[in-house]
Chain A
Amino acid sequence: MQSFTYERAASAEQAAAAVAARPDAKFISGGTNLLDLMKLEIERPAHLVDISRLPLDRIEETAAGGLRVGAQVRNSDLAADPRVRSRYPMLTQALLAGASAQIRNKASTSGNLLQRTRCPYFYDRNMPCNKREQGSGCAALQGFNRMHAILGASEACIAVHPSDMAVAMSGLDARIETISPGGETRAIPIGDFHRLPEATPHVETVLGHGEMIAAVTLPPPPPGRQVYRKVRDRASYAFALVSVAAIVEKSGDRIRSARIAMGGVAAKPWRATEAERMLAGAAASDGAFTDAAEAALAGAIGHGGNDFKIPLAKRTMRHTLAAAVESA
């Protein structure tokens, strides 16, 4: 870990300005990911702006009937909020499926969205990694890639985004509110927030330098039953091999609408829009779920070690859709 300077931000605007003023500055909140990366010198910020104490730690009702989640709401608090539990149960399930209780107590909402991949080659400075060191190559492509992406990857990078929370938020059509150094704000649909690697895997979101997440807005809960299903190598404290967030609204024996997001498969939460389109109006049947899962994974590409994720994702999606319908 390299030495750095530290300041505690007094306001959101000041925090954004403080980071914007220095190219080598970064925000820090819970530090559950950034500090690990700094110890390994994968991240080497010279200046940290602590935003954890900013008054962005409330969960408020929106006029539209949704919730506005402050960027500094801790993962554990968000999961436990009675409004989240009753109206967005999928989000609570996803949060509680992630990390450990200790980490959730520290980790912030915005930090969760911005956590970096756990690709082991990214984590080892002696290994080639385009995300860590542009142009050095991707060691995972021909290497140990059991955990890696099957959708939206590139020759430059096959890393996945590790968040569970973000997958549920993707299914809920969350919008990410930011504040820029100049004080201007914008709301970014979560689907546009993370970028796929293409040739620039080190650029992971659409945020500008110094642009800070202020809140995540959840629209009113969509009709239908919400289920988050995470498949992993052990019962807890493991990243998703694949996960599926599904919201299915039924009308009689037919599906009125469905929303599906997948985790553990790409550099961002992956919305299965084609599968959603197929399910809308279809009979709530095994065949429809199977077809939807096939469609969702139609473009999937394995890299050897992660080939199994393709059938696993299909099977998981099929059953998760069925589970959402069953209890709808």
Chain B
Amino acid sequence: MTETKTSENRPSETRNGIIGRPIDRIDGPLKVTGGATYAYENALEGTAFGYILGAAVAKGRIAEIDTAEAERAPAVLLVMTHRNAPAQPDFGPAVTPTVPEVFTRARPALNSERVRYYDEPVALVVAETFEAARAAAGLIRVRYDEEPGVYDLSGHMADAYAPKRTNAGFETDSVIGDFESAFAAAPVKIDATYRTPFEHHNPMEPHATLAAWSGNELTIHTSAQTLANFRAGVASTLRIPPERVRIVSPFIGGGFGSKLIAHADTILAALAAQVLQRPVKIALTRQQMFANAGHRAEMIQQVRLGAATDGRLTGIAHDVWAATSSFEEYCEQTAVFARSLYAAPNHATRHRLVPLDINRGEWMRSPGEAPGMLAFECAMDELAERLGLDPIELRIRNEPAQDPERGVPFSTRNLVTCMEEGARRFGWQRRNPTPGSTREGRKLIGYGMAAAIRPNYIGAATARVAIDRDGRVTARLDMTDIGTGSYTILTQIAAESLGLPISSVKVELGDSRFPRTAGSGGSWGAASAGSALHNACNALKERILEAAQSSEASPLRGANATEASFADSEVRIGQRSASLADLIRRIAPDGFEAEGSVAAGAVTQSYKAYSQHSYGAHFAEIAVDCDTGEIRMRRMLAVMGAGRILNAKTARSQIIGGMTWGIGAALMEQTVLDPRYGHFVNHDLAEYHVPINGDVPEMEVVFLEEHDDKANPLGAKGLGELGVCGAGAAVANAIYNATGVRVREFPITLDKVLPALPVIAI
């Protein structure tokens, strides 16, 4: 690949060529042979099994709950309801005083006769076997005093309110200039309203916990993206000091944001284990995950674009109305990206929420950009057509020189290069700009593209690294690997830094006894944990060099350290070198240990002085069956500018995973909330469609060569969620190009294009 950042700012120590290499996952063999133990697979002596019974109504109170038959059922140890559950704090207000408290607040379960949402836990049965617990749960009789609830976003727009902030602490509204006047005066306008549905994360591994007490110490084996959140949340709920809670989560079968906080499986397992004084294991069922493990909220998004006839934007407005929970607010930052994507003198964004009687929405892969760009990047496509401009040319004409919202320079921004390189590789010039006019047999063919943007975050993290007398390195941090490749890239970072082969480095993750990190979320894991480990390795090297120069036992005693390097398992100081293992054996028979940290991005000077985002361009080709309206992908391409790539294989896997999410969002993902009953109707994987292999076409991913020295010591930027951003819009724009039908209600299922498809002669 061509392009971009020069290499002169690269840290001199990273020359071993290990970072970036597409090495296989370190944990791959364990996973494919069943050797990776997931939460529910942990076995402890005397473990009892829990099964949760959920509420049959969406709002009301439990008038009567008869557990007698369940308690008499074979092998049942405990039936817990609000009547006998250990005391927990009240849930508290809908909005926490500060953003971080969202993650650490108490999340009590079975502590009230109130039912706040459909399938909320109303009882827990614990038995000697899972089967006995589930069977007994079926014997519990509950009578509810049902109350009318609100389950319909579009029917309750009058109840919309402005939250104090969005997720991640962004401003609810933004205003630059005077959008309304600019829009009124604009010669070319788009005013389009899009709807995006409820969606669910559906990681393969369900939310599951094995909780065990030893004295007053609680150990929780679970599936968690962020251990510190779980630890704090469990401690708050059980009213015990966090130090007494240990979270263990070495392997995670996907999270997508639904495992950032403790859910009912964790809280109830901890409570039941306390009551029974034996380990208790609980998993949510797939159906229970729909109500009890978060979702992306349904939204109505209005995008207004005003442009001069040459295509330059004079005004951008993005207004979002989203469903939220009546008892806990969650405002996805859906319009935030629109503040900094394109240049326009007049900008306005707003977020509004409509409370429904449903569970809380949660962070779902690419929160904000995923639904927001689905709408916004389609509106840009609509504007390009109105202007008679190529969609890429429109975006190029609105490329900002600096961050349009903050007025600061970009750390790196290669959006235009991404689009141009993508156009070249994809054969974009073959796109027929007249929609509905390209046919192959009985298929209508379309090309679409969209831009991608995703903020680069960095969270506070610490890592500890140790080297033993045999030159073996162990890195420990409470980071998690949710399938992204954390084990692998962290191994590469340590091996690179210390000049050792991959096989000499062992990375241990997923234990809250290890130094605290920001975990996996917001695409910040690699940058945060990776930078901390990088710094820890630097600290370790300093200790080694110091001892190497000063220790009497050192073969390098007295050497000049300013020219030191670690490479090929050797330490070199000036002209003198020694085997690292041999050196350590001589100077530190007990080995060395060091820690390194990074601060949260928002508090660093570099973050304030530069606008930091990853960028990309998505391209899609689709075919629509003109007889049935079936929409099938033909190929996709993503060109990404996301800083330094730590592992070309795991990075690519992240992006193609995101592109697959884009296909899902554009074509099929939707959870239907029944406005009569308040339940998610299609709450299993037969009815909630995600793309399967047959839906995923050939995908090409290209990374521009970038090194963002403003972002962090590694030069890497957040990448995991970038693949989602804009991918769905590229698909939707391709559908328009193929059919001439602009569907603004996602997902674009065949029934929405069918009425407009021509009946072609046979």
Chain A interface (Cβ < 8 Å from any Cβ of B): 1-3, 39-41, 118, 120-121, 123-127, 139, 142-144, 146, 231-239, 241, 286, 289, 308, 311-312, 315-316, 318-319, 322
Q: A231-B630, A233-B689, A308-B754 are in contact. Are A124 and B694 (CB under 8 A)?
A: no
With CB as the reference atom, state the residue of chain A lying closest to B55.
A126
Which one of B74, B442, B627, B679 contacts A124 once the chains associate, using CB atoms below 8 Å? B679
Q: A1-B131, A286-B761 are in contact. Are A236 and B679 (CB under 8 A)?
A: no
B276 within 8 A of A: no
Question: Is B692 a contact partner of A234 (Cβ separation < 8 A)?
Answer: yes
Bound Cα distance A234, B688 (Å): 11
Q: A233-B749, A235-B692 are in contact. Are A120 and B682 (CB under 8 A)?
A: yes
Which one of B687, B749, B762 contacts A322 once the chains associate, using CB atoms below 8 Å? B762
Q: B118 — which chain A residues lie within 8 A by C-beta? A: 126
Q: A120-B687, A121-B681, A234-B689 are in contact. Are A311 and B695 (CB under 8 A)?
A: no
With CB as the reference atom, state the residue of chain A lying closest to B749.
A233
Question: Is B755 a contact partner of A1 (Cβ separation < 8 A)?
Answer: no
Q: CB-defined interface of B120-146 with A at 8 Å, one 1/0 digit per residue?
A: 000000000001001100100000000
B759 within 8 A of A: yes
Question: Is B695 a contact partner of A142 (Cβ separation < 8 A)?
Answer: no
B632 within 8 A of A: yes
With CB as the reference atom, state the residue of chain A lying closest to B697.
A235
With CB as the reference atom, state the residue of chain A lying closest to B628.
A231
With CB as the reference atom, state the residue of chain B lying closest to A242.
B628
The smallest beta-carbon distance between A135 and chain B, in angstroms, is 18
Bound Cα distance A241, B627 (Å): 14
Question: Is B667 a contact partner of A234 (Cβ separation < 8 A)?
Answer: yes
B677 within 8 A of A: yes
Shortest 7 CB-CB contacts between residues of A and residues of B: A235-B694, A308-B751, A126-B56, A319-B627, A236-B694, A322-B762, A286-B762
Bound Cα distance A127, B118 (Å): 12
Q: B62 — which chain A residues lie within 8 A by C-beta? A: none
Question: Is B628 a contact partner of A315 (Cβ separation < 8 A)?
Answer: yes
What are 24 A-B pairs at a CB distance below 8 A?
A1-B131, A1-B138, A120-B682, A120-B683, A139-B677, A142-B676, A143-B674, A143-B676, A144-B681, A146-B751, A231-B630, A233-B689, A234-B668, A234-B689, A234-B691, A236-B693, A236-B694, A236-B695, A241-B750, A308-B750, A308-B754, A315-B759, A318-B762, A322-B762
Q: A142-B676, A234-B667, A286-B762 are in contact. Are A311 and B750 (CB under 8 A)?
A: no
Q: B679 — which chain A residues lie within 8 A by C-beta? A: 124, 126-127
Bound Cα distance A2, B138 (Å): 8
Which one of B57, B74, B138, B754 contacts A315 once the chains associate, using CB atoms below 8 Å? B754
B158 within 8 A of A: no
Beyond the given A311-B754, A312-B751, could you list 20 further A-B residue pairs with CB under 8 A, ordered by the A residue number? A1-B131, A1-B138, A3-B135, A41-B138, A120-B682, A120-B683, A120-B687, A121-B681, A123-B684, A124-B683, A234-B667, A234-B668, A236-B694, A236-B695, A239-B686, A312-B750, A316-B627, A316-B628, A318-B762, A319-B762
B629 within 8 A of A: yes
B672 within 8 A of A: yes
Interface SS, A side: loop
Q: B676 — which chain A residues lie within 8 A by C-beta? A: 139, 142-143
Q: B134 — which chain A residues lie within 8 A by C-beta? A: 1, 39
The smallest beta-carbon distance between A323 and chain B, in angstroms, is 9
Interface SS, B side: loop
Bound Cα distance A179, B692 (Å): 40
Question: Is A289 a contact partner of B627 (Cβ separation < 8 A)?
Answer: no
Q: A233-B668, A237-B692, A316-B628 are in contact. Are A143 and B754 (CB under 8 A)?
A: no
Bound Cα distance A120, B131 (Å): 24
The smallest beta-carbon distance between A243 and chain B, in angstroms, is 11
Bound Cα distance A234, B682 (Å): 16
Bound Cα distance A289, B135 (Å): 53
Bound Cα distance A235, B689 (Å): 11
Q: A121 — which chain B residues lie within 8 A by C-beta? A: 681
With CB as the reference atom, state the residue of chain B lying closest to A147.
B687
Question: Is A312 a contact partner of B754 (Cβ separation < 8 A)?
Answer: yes
Question: Is A144 a contact partner of B682 (Cβ separation < 8 A)?
Answer: yes
Chain B residues within 8 Å of chain A by Cβ, number = 42
Q: A2 — which chain B residues lie within 8 A by C-beta? A: 135, 138
With CB as the reference atom, state the residue of chain A lying closest to B119.
A126
Question: Is A319 a contact partner of B131 (Cβ separation < 8 A)?
Answer: no
* B residues 471-518 in Cβ contact with A at 8 Å: none
The smallest beta-carbon distance between B528 and chain A, in angstroms, is 36
Q: B674 — which chain A residues lie within 8 A by C-beta? A: 139, 143-144
Q: A40 — which chain B residues lie within 8 A by C-beta? A: 287
Q: A1 — which chain B residues lie within 8 A by C-beta? A: 131, 134-135, 138
Q: A312 — which chain B residues lie within 8 A by C-beta? A: 628-629, 750-751, 754
Q: CB-defined interface of B130-166 with A at 8 Å, one 1/0 digit per residue?
A: 0100110010000000000000000000000000000
The smallest beta-carbon distance between B756 and chain A, in angstroms, is 11
With CB as the reference atom, state the residue of chain B lying closest to A284.
B762
Bound Cα distance A120, B632 (Å): 26
Question: Is B755 a contact partner of A233 (Cβ separation < 8 A)?
Answer: no
Bound Cα distance A126, B53 (Å): 12
Bound Cα distance A142, B682 (Å): 15
Question: Is A235 a contact partner of B632 (Cβ separation < 8 A)?
Answer: yes
Q: B74 — which chain A residues lie within 8 A by C-beta? A: 3
Q: B762 — which chain A residues lie within 8 A by C-beta? A: 286, 289, 318-319, 322
Q: B668 — which chain A residues lie within 8 A by C-beta? A: 233-234
| A142, A232, A233, A286 — most chain B CB neighbours (10 Å) | A233
Bound Cα distance A86, B137 (Å): 51
Bound Cα distance A238, B762 (Å): 28
Bound Cα distance A231, B631 (Å): 11
Bound Cα distance A35, B56 (Å): 22
The smallest beta-carbon distance between A80 and chain B, in angstroms, is 19
Bound Cα distance A308, B754 (Å): 8
The smallest beta-carbon distance between B86 and chain A, in angstroms, is 28
Q: B681 — which chain A residues lie within 8 A by C-beta? A: 120-121, 124, 143-144
Question: Is A234 a contact partner of B131 (Cβ separation < 8 A)?
Answer: no
Bound Cα distance A125, B755 (Å): 36
The smallest beta-carbon distance between A163 and chain B, in angstroms, is 14
With CB as the reference atom, state the residue of chain B lying closest to A241.
B750
Bound Cα distance A126, B683 (Å): 13
The smallest beta-carbon distance between B340 and chain A, in angstroms, is 35
* B residues 285-324 in Cβ contact with A at 8 Å: 287
Bound Cα distance A41, B754 (Å): 38
Q: A126 — which chain B residues lie within 8 A by C-beta? A: 56-57, 118, 677, 679
Bound Cα distance A210, B313 (Å): 73
Question: Is A144 a contact partner of B672 (Cβ separation < 8 A)?
Answer: yes
Q: B131 — which chain A residues lie within 8 A by C-beta? A: 1, 3
Q: A322 — which chain B residues lie within 8 A by C-beta? A: 762
Q: A319 — which chain B residues lie within 8 A by C-beta? A: 442, 627-628, 762
Bound Cα distance A39, B51 (Å): 12
| B630, B684, B761, B762 — most chain A CB neighbours (10 Å) | B762
Q: A316 — which chain B residues lie within 8 A by C-beta? A: 627-628
With CB as the reference atom, state the residue of chain B lying closest to A321.
B762
Question: Is B689 a contact partner of A127 (Cβ separation < 8 A)?
Answer: no
Q: CB-defined interface of B613-637 with A at 8 Å, one 1/0 digit per residue?
A: 0000000000000011110100000
Q: B135 — which chain A residues lie within 8 A by C-beta? A: 1-3
Q: B693 — which chain A residues lie within 8 A by C-beta? A: 236
Bound Cα distance A123, B442 (Å): 37
Which one of A143, A231, A318 contacts B750 once the chains associate, using CB atoms below 8 Å? A231
With CB as the reference atom, state the residue of chain A lying closest to B696.
A235
The smallest beta-carbon distance between A104 and chain B, in angstroms, is 15
Q: B628 — which chain A residues lie within 8 A by C-beta? A: 231, 312, 315-316, 319
Bound Cα distance A238, B668 (Å): 11
Bound Cα distance A31, B683 (Å): 21
The smallest beta-carbon distance between B574 and chain A, in angstroms, is 63
Q: A3-B135, A234-B667, A312-B628 are in contact. Are A118 and B687 (CB under 8 A)?
A: yes
Q: B138 — which chain A residues lie within 8 A by C-beta? A: 1-2, 41
